[in-house]
């Protein structure tokens, strides 16, 4: 059931991207490529999915996406600042016009009082420079946190594209 809902969401995201002639790039940490798997499970996704980055380590975030060492040191890998830099790096290192980024603590360990297990930071960005970030706190086991993260990331892309369609005065894309 949950995978059917995720497939339906990925299909909607793909249709919205394709309708606008846009490509998506994903920068993932705690989800380990699950966004890329969800979207490439949709037939025809090569029309709208450009590439994905799995940057699980801090070094990978720096090497592949250009996340600044200062951001990692000051805010930690699980922060909106790092998520924003991940999304910007995915755009800068791809041919996509839309990017999403996910970085979080899926558990069962790795949490702290400031950033408990289930803390996940997201970013969405477009080549025109607009971006947004969000932090969510999910309950459940590792798989549940990761699944919820993929869902929120894809919903964020869809909401951004739909907001762009609704806004004639200030388009995001």
- Provide the pLDDT for residue 168: 44
- Provide the pLDDT for residue 147: 98
The domains located in the chain, with CATH, are 2-165 (3.90.950.20)
> Averaged over 65-91, what is the pLDDT?
98
- Provide the pLDDT for residue 11: 98
Cβ distance 71 to 78 under 8 Å?
Answer: no
Burial-class residue 166 by CB neighbours within 10 Å (0-12, 13-18, 19+): exposed
State how far the Cα of 121 lies from the Cα of 76, in Å rounded to an integer. 11
pLDDT in tens, 35-62: 999 999 999 999 999 999 999 999 999 9
Q: For residue 171, is pLDDT > 50?
A: no
Report the interhelical angle of 142-166 vs 2-20 (nearest 10°).
30
Cβ distance 100 to 88 under 8 Å?
Answer: no
Q: For residue 169, is pLDDT > 50?
A: no
Output the average pLDDT for the chain. Answer: 94
pLDDT in tens, 100-128: 999 999 999 999 999 999 999 999 999 98
Q: For residue 138, is pLDDT > 80?
A: yes
- Provide the pLDDT for residue 129: 77
């Amino acid at each position: 059931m949950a995978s059917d809902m995720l497939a339906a969401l990925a299909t909607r995201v793909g249709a919205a991207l394709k309708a606008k002639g846009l490509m998506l790039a994903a920068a993932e940490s705690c989800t380990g490529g699950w966004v890329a798997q969800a979207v490439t499970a949709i037939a025809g996704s090569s029309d709208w999915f450009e590439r994905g980055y799995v940057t699980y380590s801090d070094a990978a975030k720096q090497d592949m996406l250009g996340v600044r060492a200062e951001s990692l040191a000051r805010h930690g890998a699980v922060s909106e600042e790092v998520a924003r830099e991940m999304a910007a790096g995915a755009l800068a290192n791809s041919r996509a016009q839309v990017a999403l980024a996910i970085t979080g603590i899926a558990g069962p360990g790795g949490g702290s009082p400031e950033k408990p297990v289930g803390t996940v930071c997201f970013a969405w960005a477009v080549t025109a420079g607009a971006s947004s970030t969000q932090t969510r706190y999910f309950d459940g086991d590792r798989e549940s946190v990761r699944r919820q993260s993929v869902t929120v990331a894809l919903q964020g892309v869809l909401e951004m594209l739909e907001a762009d369609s609704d806004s004639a005065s200030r388009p995001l894309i």
